[in-house]
Amino acid sequence: MKVPFVDLHAQYVSIKSEIDAAIADTIARTAFIGGEPVSAFEKDFASWLGVSHCIACANGTDSIEILLKAVGIGVGDEVIVPAHSWISTSEAVGTVGAMPVFADTLKNTFTIDPADVRKRITNRTKAIIPVHLFGLPAEMDVIMDIAKEFNLKVIEDCAQSHGAKFKGQLTGTFGHAASFSFYPGKNLGAYGDAGAMVTNDAVIADAARMIANHGQKGKHNHIAEGRNSRLDGLQAAILSVKLKHLDKWNSLRIEKANVYTKLLKNSRLVLPQTPKDHVHVFHLYVVQLPESVDRKQVMEDLKQNGIETAVHYPVALPFLKPYSNRNFSNADFPVARTHTQCILSLPIFAEITVEQQRYVADTLQKLVS
């Protein structure tokens, strides 16, 4: 049996006629950059989230960077980010000239530790970027309280959390603004790079839209040096089609995650948890291997058995080369450091079958028993 890590082809086949029609229509209208398909998607996505503004852009990394600029963050400022994430989260902070300050993550949920955030605040701190890692919301109530107390901006990184909820509220609606990625493998994915910024703040929205389109406020009215980070019409048209299926796909992901949890509950693995008040949309199903197990070997053995797995991520952000001059030690981020050494992401997507999941669970359990 073969179990791919994700199966984007199976998803395409399930909505082929809708997608093909949307692509043909966009080409017929030569709506290649911006235009009606992009404004339609911005409207659809804002309304799905229940926010007043959505500004589409080229990818999820740009959207973090542009939002940081839009809220006025730059040289001399510090921004607190989790030690465990994809590099975009800290990279965007560096790109605008500010300094990423890492906070450790929580043992049971992998998301940023609010108590550690509090400890890392200085008089240069201007913002926090919580990441709803793997599809599980960060502790947004405490994070917003801290932000209020210290007058900090909160930009949510929702690249992995389309549809996730905390206390009944969608991620992306807590902070001053939020960033979404529609990289093909995300819960809502385009057929290429794509991203979006959302906010209820008209001032942030105007600034973000201006920056993403060469600093223009209306055609040829350049009020600043901005950049080119626009969305293709084709990607927008595809995203509008796929958005209609997102809630159903998320329910299926949750269902498949519950299947793994049932199959693996008596194993030596630590399984992902969904604390009360959280809706986890399982962008990734991440288990922790016992300390004695050689992860590389397990992955290789799974591969020999036709099962693709991945590690998100093998090195915590503070220990990546770009931050080596900061001389962090393991003791600075004990939780993120430990997680990154033992985590393993299992195949999960809406179309995975119970037979495939049973095969993954059986094979993995034999390898770690």
Ligand X SMILES: *Cc1c(COP(=O)(O)O)cnc(C)c1O
Residue ranges binding ligand X (CB under 6 A):
59-61, 85-86, 88-89, 131, 157, 159-160, 181, 183, 195
263-283: b (≥16 Cβ within 10 Å) or e: bbeeeebbbbebeeebbbbbb
For the CB of residue 61, give the shortest distance to ligand X in the complex, in Å.
Answer: 3
3-state helix, strand, coil in the chain (%, to 5): 45, 15, 40
The residue among 65 and 116 lying less far from ligand X, judged by its C-beta, is 65
The residue among 112 and 364 lying less far from ligand X, judged by its C-beta, is 112
The residue among 66 and 259 lying less far from ligand X, judged by its C-beta, is 66
For the CB of residue 94, give the shortest distance to ligand X in the complex, in Å.
Answer: 14
For the CB of residue 159, give the shortest distance to ligand X in the complex, in Å.
Answer: 3
Q: Are 103 and 241 in contact (CB under 8 A)?
A: no
For the CB of residue 156, give the shortest distance to ligand X in the complex, in Å.
Answer: 11
Cα–Cα nearest to 311, from 285, 292, 293: 285
For residues 259 and 360, give the distance between their C-alpha atoms in angstroms, rounded to a whole number: 11
Whose CB is nearest to ligand X? 60
The residue among 180 and 260 lying less far from ligand X, judged by its C-beta, is 180
* Torsion of the alpha carbons at 22, 35, 213 and 232, rounded to the nearest 10: 20
The residue among 150 and 323 lying less far from ligand X, judged by its C-beta, is 323
Query: What number of CA atoms fall less than 13 Å from residue 319's CA on the CB side?
Result: 17
Backbone angles phi, psi at 125, to 5 degrees: -65, 130
For the CB of residue 188, give the shortest distance to ligand X in the complex, in Å.
Answer: 11
